[in-house]
């Protein structure tokens, strides 16, 4: 969809901000071609980056620069659109009052267009800085009615959306692992989107996950990006080489009496793989048992709300940008970030531990290593 919508952004920007300029038409054409090329970022990355849409094999600097250009284009479009609406209201007001527009109106409009470009550059530069920053530890206490006495005070580290890819620096992964282990969690869970790229390209970096350490182990579920990157190869690799036990529509009973379940992801439908099934994942769990569900996509909470006490999810990246989170919420069953009550079940939706390099922007929605402490209600 982006391939079809993005050119509209370039065309809009050209006619609003560039076409009115008193410059040579060849300059205008050149600027339009640059805007159009930026709008086709994902297609260009796909064609020249190994024909892998979500994980092109291109240098880190080029990937971040192209993401910066594309994000500036989107931000400038949004600000220009808002500006055009405001200008329209001002013009309508003057027309109804039969007043003339100020003499310097056109000059003011032209300057405003490029002030908004400068603002876009500043915001997106900060957004990439925050988007690629290391996650901070976020502590949260959750109270569960059916929590077994042996699980009182249990600490769970929740990671999600690592998006390890061709340009991810190994030291970045090691620092996430170090910060997680330093909290001494009893259990570590990774709720999907481990990787962008094939096993051949990302195996060495993914193998670093075996350094995660918790008494009850490291458990995971797939996200949509595992399906794009070679689902079966990665499920095998994560179990055998990264020491992450994958819960694919199944559950286990931990030594403290808590049931831990996990599902596949909704992206499975496109690849003819097993669909997420929270009921099947519950297995032999009884209504009085305390059950925790791992599901990458928070929308599954609507199906799981009468089966489990608590669900951990990722996928939304917290909406990434304040304002844009309103749209992300609508696309994800009304969920975007934080703690929710869904029927009889609680949902904790993490902002994610890292971010996809295709759009590595965060503004007001920082990444996190979430430390959950469970207590009896």
How confident is the model over 224-249, as pLDDT tens digits?
Answer: 999 999 999 999 999 999 999 999 99
Same domain, 15 and 105: yes
Distance between CA 290 and CA 251 in Å, rounded?
Answer: 12
According to DSSP, residue 35 is labeled H
3-17, 205-219, 350-364: which has the minimum mean pLDDT? 3-17
Tokens of 64: 């971040």
Same domain, 304 and 158: yes
* pLDDT for res 312: 99
Same domain, 106 and 143: no
Same domain, 85 and 156: no
- What confidence tens digit (pLDDT) does each residue in 325-349 have? 899 999 999 999 999 999 999 999 9
Same domain, 182 and 319: yes
Name the pLDDT band for 219 (thresholds 50, 70, 90): very high
* pLDDT for res 22: 87
* pLDDT for res 158: 99
* pLDDT for res 93: 77
Same domain, 167 and 80: no
Structural domains of the chain, count: 2
- What confidence tens digit (pLDDT) does each residue in 257-299 have? 999 999 999 999 999 999 999 999 999 999 999 999 999 999 9
Tokens of 100: 């003339």
Same domain, 334 and 207: yes
Query: At residue 46, does pLDDT exceed 90?
Result: no
Query: At residue 105, does pLDDT exceed 80?
Result: no
**Among 107, 130, 153, which residue terminates a domain?**
130
**Among 106, 130, 154, which residue terminates a domain?**
130
Q: Output the pTM of the full model.
A: 0.92
**Among 101, 130, 159, which residue terminates a domain?**
130
Average pLDDT over residues 127-133: 96
Same domain, 91 and 228: no
Mean pLDDT of the chain: 93
Instruction: Give the domain CATH number at 197.
Output: 3.60.21.10
Same domain, 70 and 147: no
Average pLDDT over residues 133-155: 97
Query: At residue 69, does pLDDT exceed 90?
Result: yes
Nearest Cα to Cα of residue 351 among 173, 121, 162:
162
Range of the domain at 344: 135-376
Following DSSP, what letter does each residue of 55-98 receive, concatenated?
Answer: S----HHHHHHHHHHHHHHHHHHHHHHHHHHHHHHHHHHHHHTT
Same domain, 126 and 157: no
Distance between CA 49 and CA 55 in Å, rounded?
Answer: 8
Name the pLDDT band for 218 (thresholds 50, 70, 90): very high
Percent above pLDDT 70 for the chain: 97
Query: At residue 3, does pLDDT exceed 70?
Result: no
């Amino acid at each position: 969809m982006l391939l079809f919508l993005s050119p509209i952004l370039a065309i809009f920007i050209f006619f609003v901000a560039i076409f009115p300029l008193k410059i040579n038409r060849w300059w205008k054409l050149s600027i339009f071609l640059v805007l159009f090329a930026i709008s086709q970022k994902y297609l260009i990355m796909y064609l020249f980056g190994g024909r892998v849409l979500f994980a092109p094999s291109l240098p880190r600097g080029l990937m971040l620069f192209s993401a910066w250009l594309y994000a500036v284009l989107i931000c400038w479009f949004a600000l220009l659109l808002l500006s055009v609406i405001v200008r329209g209201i001002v013009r309508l007001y003057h027309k109804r009052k039969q007043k003339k527009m100020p003499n310097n109106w056109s000059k003011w409009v032209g300057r405003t267009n490029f002030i908004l470009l400068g603002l876009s550059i500043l915001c997106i530069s900060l957004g990439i800085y925050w988007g690629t920053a290391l996650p901070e530890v976020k502590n949260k206490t959750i109270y569960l009615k059916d929590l077994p006495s042996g699980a009182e005070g249990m600490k769970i580290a929740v990671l999600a959306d690592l998006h390890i890819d061709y340009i991810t620096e190994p030291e970045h992964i090691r620092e996430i692992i170090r910060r997680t282990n330093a909290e001494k969690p009893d259990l570590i869970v990774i709720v999907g989107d481990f990787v962008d790229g094939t096993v051949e390209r990302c195996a060495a970096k993914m193998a670093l996950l075996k350094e995660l350490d918790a008494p009850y182990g490291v458990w995971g579920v797939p996200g949509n990006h595992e399906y794009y990157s070679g689902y079966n190869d990665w499920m095998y690799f994560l179990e055998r080489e990264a020491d992450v036990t994958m819960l694919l529509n199944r559950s286990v009973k931990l030594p403290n009496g808590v049931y831990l379940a996990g599902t596949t992801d909704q992206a499975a439908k496109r690849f003819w793989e097993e669909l997420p099934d929270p009921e099947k994942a519950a297995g032999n769990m009884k209504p009085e048992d305390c059950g925790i569900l791992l599901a990458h996509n928070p929308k599954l909470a609507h199906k799981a709300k009468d089966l489990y006490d608590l669900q951990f999810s990722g996928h939304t990246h917290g909406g990434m940008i304040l304002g844009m989170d309103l749209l992300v919420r609508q696309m994800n069953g009304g969920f975007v970030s934080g703690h929710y009550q869904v029927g009889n079940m609680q949902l904790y939706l993490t902002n994610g531990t890292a971010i996809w390099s295709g759009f590595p922007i965060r503004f007001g929605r920082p990444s996190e290593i979430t430390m959950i402490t469970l207590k009896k209600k």
